[in-house]
Each structure stands twice: as structure tokens, then as C-alpha cells.
Chains A and B, each alone.
Chain A
């Protein structure tokens, strides 16, 4: 059964008098435990699609179901809860909070789910340990390398043990070595913990970690290939 279902997703932006069609009717079903890579030229709608899957944005037309729950009728608080509990985001630019330590950043999503302080710090420490940054937990983001920051943000994405991890060009700002480490980490999360990973990338080497590669162009899926 599919974890994420998209039906006829259309997204339009009004820019003055012109209408930008970011997505033009996307149908997609993603199964639990899959790693899906989304590729395509710049401006083809990859980020827009990710935001819609991640409940950060609503489609103009079409339906989104997360774990068989339609999201269109949900209210702001409920969407926030879904983002917090079921989805973990990893961004190209890391987007760590500068005033918080690595551990503080990993613990941040748990604050909004009302998890107790002791439990938060413990889990954050464990997650950092798991991605090999146990000794850097009291460092602030500006004291970490790009690769390390991205691993911290993966740990943050894992904080509330979500089913889905959305990564928008997670290796875009990293050298190939660090990029490979990040992808191995995501692969392991999928293999060992059954996480569903959706990763946007321009890089075929990155896409090689995926079970399925979807190619977007002008807001439409033009190609879909499965590998084994």
C-alpha cells in the first residue's frame, strides 16, 4: 500500500498578470520503504512537488493523501502536526538554527511535539551518535563543515521518527565525498528502519542510490524508471 498518494496535482502561481504553472497534473504513488529520486531541469517543479508532499504548501488542484489521509481539509495545526510527526525535511542549505548547538537543532522538532527535555536531549544525543557526530553535539552550526551540518540536519529530520524523509538537493552544497556519506546515511535509514525517502537531485550518482527515479519537465512526469 502506498504511503504517499498524489492525484492530478496542479500548482499555479500568479505573478502579476502571468500565471506560472509549476506543476501540471502530477500523479504519483510512493510505497513505504522506497527511496525515490526526483530529477529534472531547473524550474521543472521539483521543489514545488516536495513542498506539496511535505504539507508545506497546498496544491491548486488535486489531492494529496499521506497514509491514506487526505490533507486538503486539514487545518493549520493539524498540518503542522503531520510535518512534525510524519515527515522529516533535509534542505540543500541545511537550514540549521544558528543559535542552537547540533544537539539543540536535533532536539528542536521534539519541542513542538511536547516531548520532555530529558527525553529530547537523550534522543538527540543518540541520533548524533548514530550518524557519527556524537563528539560534536555541543558545537554550533558555524563550527561544523558542510557535510557535518547536513548530517546534523538528517538527524534533525529523524527526531520524531517520521515515516517519510524529504530531501531537496541534500548534496547540492557538498563535495562528492560528503555527498556520498549523506546518501549512504539515507540509504541505511531506508534499509534498516524502513523509512521512505524522497530525494531531489541533479546528480545521477546520487540518483543511483534510489529504487526509483522520476523525471519532471515543465511540471509533468516525463519518465519513471525502477531499478533493482
Chain B
């Protein structure tokens, strides 16, 4: 019976083709805007996550000092706290399915150099302790080390350093020269070319730390950090999980191993958690914007309601006839509800197609004009959601007019001219 009502409604919609389309356009505009914005939002989220993933790797686990559990009574939240973790990297390396581990420690050091002419230059610069696996296993994290002159640090180096491009210039050093870090002599073995900007920012942001990769950064072997700056350990360890095991499970194992070794106050963060955080943030923003676009949809809905009211008026006689030939109130209600839902639905389909095209266009335009690679945000939940929503808008818009139609007294309908 609903099927028959559907065909009745379809015939009416088709008969008043022009008006139906004009009405549908109102819905189309709203749905187009909402779908385009949400899909751009999803695309943006995917893009950011892909970038973070590129730096970070899905299989990376960050080990930091921090609070693991929420404790509302003490007003503490899950998150990092400052402080060094003093563990043997081997302790983590022994955990099943951990394939690599590397500490990262960065400090600010007083750097001094006495030039050939005897004039000293000094200043404070970031110093990073470079662990050998950082270079071999976490290359993406720390970036390509574009060596401009000299060589990279190698295993077995002790009082050797490589310098960022800017600091090398400030100190006027070239490979082979000697500098003082916190009063101790280091031989400069290499100079790094300038880093790409986004690399500098991303590195720090991803780790939730201050940006540490700058053109003024000085790298020394990790083992030297304790000797120069005191205290053992590092504020951040990166661990890499093997492919055979889920990264969350490996993180759990590391946690257990550390707890058994008596190390506590440790926070383990996986990529998944970071991408969730980004996802939530982007979602909030894009939902808000799409909500604004929803106002256009509201206008479309009101237009639809208006058309339905007009239609009820015009078809008063037809409604009377249907009642005279046996239609019950609820049948009339269904016919009109289906009619408005149908128009909402058609508006939804067209709107979704246009919205997706618009977001594809925006993504192409960004690549073309700004060379920004925005991923497409086309997803099944978005499409299905938008379709259901347009159906809902149609149904809601039709509710009152359909009610009026169903309550019409047949005799009144015949007297209506």
C-alpha cells in the first residue's frame, strides 16, 4: 500500500514538474553546502592525519613521563609531564615485537667558539642528543638529514657534533673546527642544510614538545648528553612495533615491562591516539561550519513546507475525492508525507552529487593554485547520512501540511472552488 502511495506521490510530483524542481532546488542548495563542507572537513582531517602519519609512522609508540589515568578527584588528566625517564633502551627493546627504540633529548646549551683571530663568539643553542637508531629506524620522524658539508654522526663518535646551517654561520665554523658546548670541546664533523619549514614545525608539534628542529640545532651523540648536561635518560623515547602485532598491544606490553622494572609515571602515546585527537578537533570545526550551512537547508525545508501547503489547498477537491472513494485520514497523511519526503530525497541526491563535485573541485583547485594536496573526503557514512537527513527534512516539512490534508472534511472539500 505504501508502495502504491509512493507511485501516487511520484505522479503528482512529476505532473507539477516545474514547481517540484523549484522546490527541490531549495533543498539541493542546503544539502550541497552541508555535504561540500563536511566532505572538505573529512578531507582535511585525512590530510592532516596522513601528514602526521608520514612523520610519525602508525607503528610508533611514544614513551614519556606523564599521567596515564584520569583521576578527577585530583584534577589530573591523561597527559605528559616534564621530566626525564632513565631507562636502558634495551629494557624496551627486549619486549616482544618491539623492533626499535630510540631516546630523544634536547637541551639548551651554552656554545662558545674561539675563532682563528682569537675573538670568541658564544650563544645559547638547542642541542639534541642523537641516538644511532634515531637515524636508522626513525628517519621519517627526524627527517632527511641533508648534509651540506662534512659527514653524518656515526656510531663510535664521541666528542663530535654536526651543526645546523644557521648556527654554523653564526659561529663561522666549517667541518674540522672545534667548538665548546657547556665548556667541553667538540669537533664539528658536518653541517646540515636548512630544514623544510613544515618539518621543523611538525616534529615538535607531533611530540607535543617545543619545536626542536631548527637551523640552529646542534646534534651530538646521545651518550654525551648525560656528561654535558647531567642527569641520565631522556624525556622522550620512540619505540617501533613490529608488523605482526597491533601497536596498542605492543604499547601495553611495554607498559607492563616498565612497571615490572619498577619504572612508573610513564605515559605511552600511539599514533592512533594522536590521529583521534586531530580527528575530534577537525570534526568539531567542520560540524560547526556545516551547521551554519544547515541554515540554508532550513530555508529549503521551509520552501518545501510552503509548496506542500499550496499543494494541499490546490488539491482540496482531489483530497475530497480520495476520501469519497474510501481513503482514510491516515492514507491521505501518508500520501502527502511521502510526497514531501520524496522531494526532500530527490533534493538530497542532487545535493549530494553537487556537494561532492564541489569538494572534488575545491581539492583540485587547491592542488592547482596552492600546490596543497588535500585528500578527498568522500565517505559512505557521509552520503548515507546526508540522504537520510534530506529525507527527514522532507518528512518534517510535510508533517503539518499532510496533517491538514488528512483532517480535511470531504464535504468542505467539495464546496471549495
Hey, which chain A residues are within 8 Å of B330, CB to CB?
77
Are A112 and B326 touching (Cβ within 8 A)? yes
Is the Cβ of A108 less than 8 Å from the Cβ of B325? yes
A206 in the interface, Cβ–Cβ < 8 Å? no
Chain B residues contacting A84 (CB-CB under 8 Å) are 325-327
B299 within 8 A of A: no
Contact residues in B for A219 (Cβ distance below 8 Å)? none
Closest beta carbon of chain B to A84's beta carbon, Å: 2
User: Which residue of A54, A57, A98, A112 is within 8 Å of B327 (Cβ)?
Assistant: A112
B411, A108: Cβ atoms closer than 8 Å? no
Q: How far is the CA of A57 from the CA of B409 in the complex (A)?
A: 8
State whether the Cβ of A182 lies closer than 8 Å to any Cβ in chain B: no
Instruction: Give A171 to B409 CA distance when docked, in angstroms.
Output: 25
Please encode chain A, from 78 to 108, with 1 for each CB lying within 8 Å of some chain B CB and 0 for all others.
Answer: 0011011100110100011111100010001
Complex: A73 Cα to B347 Cα, angstroms: 45
Residues of B near A97 (CB, < 8 A) are 318, 321-322
Q: Is A76 an interface residue (CB 8 A)?
A: yes
Q: Which residues of B contact A95 (CB under 8 A)?
A: 317-318, 320-321, 324
Instruction: Tell me if A212 counts as interface (CB < 8 A to partner B).
Output: no
Assign chain B's interface to a size class.
20 to 34
Q: Report the Cα distance A95→B4, complex, angstroms.
A: 20
**Nearest Cβ on chain A to B184's Cβ, whole angstroms:** 93
Residues of A within 8 A of B324 (CB): 54, 56, 83, 89, 95
Taking CB as reference atom, which chain A residue is nearest B1? A114
Q: Assess whether A160 is interfacial by the CB under 8 Å rule.
A: yes
Please, which residues of chain A bring their CB within 8 A of the CB of B331?
Answer: 80, 112
Do B328 and A112 touch (CB < 8 A)?
A: yes
B366-417 interface (Cβ within 8 A of A):
409-411, 414
Answer whether residue B78 sits at the interface, using C-beta atoms and an 8 A cutoff: no
Task: Give the dominant DSSP class at B's interface.
Answer: helix
Task: Say whether A117 faces chain B, with CB atoms less than 8 Å apart.
Answer: yes
A100/B11 in contact, CB under 8 A:
yes
- Cβ of A42 within 8 Å of any chain B Cβ, yes or no, is no
> Contact flags (1/0) for A153-173 with B, using CB distance below 8 Å?
000100110000000000000
Whether the Cβ atoms of A117 and B4 lie closer than 8 Å is yes
Find A156's partner among B5, B325, B328 (CB 8 Å cutoff). B325
Q: With an 8 A cutoff between CB atoms, is B117 at the interface?
A: no
CA–CA, A159 to B326, complex, Å? Answer: 11
Kindly list chain B residues whose C-beta atoms are within 8 Å of the C-beta of A96.
321
Instruction: Specify the chain A residue showing the minimal Cβ separation from B318.
Output: A97
Inter-subunit contact B326/A99 (CB<8 Å): no
What chain A residues lie within 8 Å of B1 (beta carbons)? 111, 114
**Quick one: closest B residue to A88, CB to CB?**
B325
Is the pair A99, B11 in contact by a Cβ cutoff of 8 Å? yes
Is B15 in contact with A160, judged by CB distance below 8 angstroms?
no
CA distance A76 to B409 in the complex (A): 11
Bound complex: CA A100 to CA B5 (Å): 12
Cβ distance A71 to chain B, nearest Cβ, rounded Å: 14
**Residue B329, interface by CB 8 Å:** yes
Residue A137 CB within 8 A of the other chain: no
- Identify the closest chain B residue to A84 (Cβ): B326
Q: Does A109 contact B (CB under 8 A)?
A: yes
Which residues in B have their C-beta under 8 angstroms from that of A113? 326
Residue of A nearest to B326 (CB): A84
Q: Is B256 an interface residue (CB 8 A)?
A: no
Chain A minimum-CB-distance residue to B330 = A77
Please report the C-alpha to C-alpha distance between residue A51 and residue B1 in the assembled complex, in whole angstroms. Answer: 27
Q: Which of A57, A85, A100, A104 contacts B326 (CB 8 A)?
A: A85
Q: A111-B1, A112-B331 are in contact. Are A99 and B15 (CB under 8 A)?
A: yes
The yes or no answer to B12 lying at the interface (CB within 8 A) is yes
> Could you say which of B12, B325, B411, B414 contacts A109, with CB atoms under 8 Å apart?
B325
Tell me, in angstroms, the Cα distance from A76 to B333 when the chains sit together: 14
Q: List 24 A-B contacts (CB under 8 A).
A: A51-B410, A51-B411, A56-B414, A57-B410, A77-B328, A80-B326, A80-B327, A80-B329, A80-B331, A81-B326, A81-B328, A84-B327, A88-B325, A91-B321, A95-B317, A95-B318, A95-B324, A97-B321, A99-B12, A109-B325, A111-B8, A113-B326, A117-B4, A156-B325
Q: A57-B409, A76-B328, A108-B322 are in contact. List 8 more A-B contacts (CB 8 A).
A: A51-B411, A81-B326, A83-B325, A89-B325, A97-B322, A109-B326, A111-B5, A112-B322
Q: Taking beta carbons and an 8 Å cutoff, which residues of B are in contact with A?
A: 1, 4-5, 8, 11-12, 14-15, 317-318, 320-331, 409-411, 414
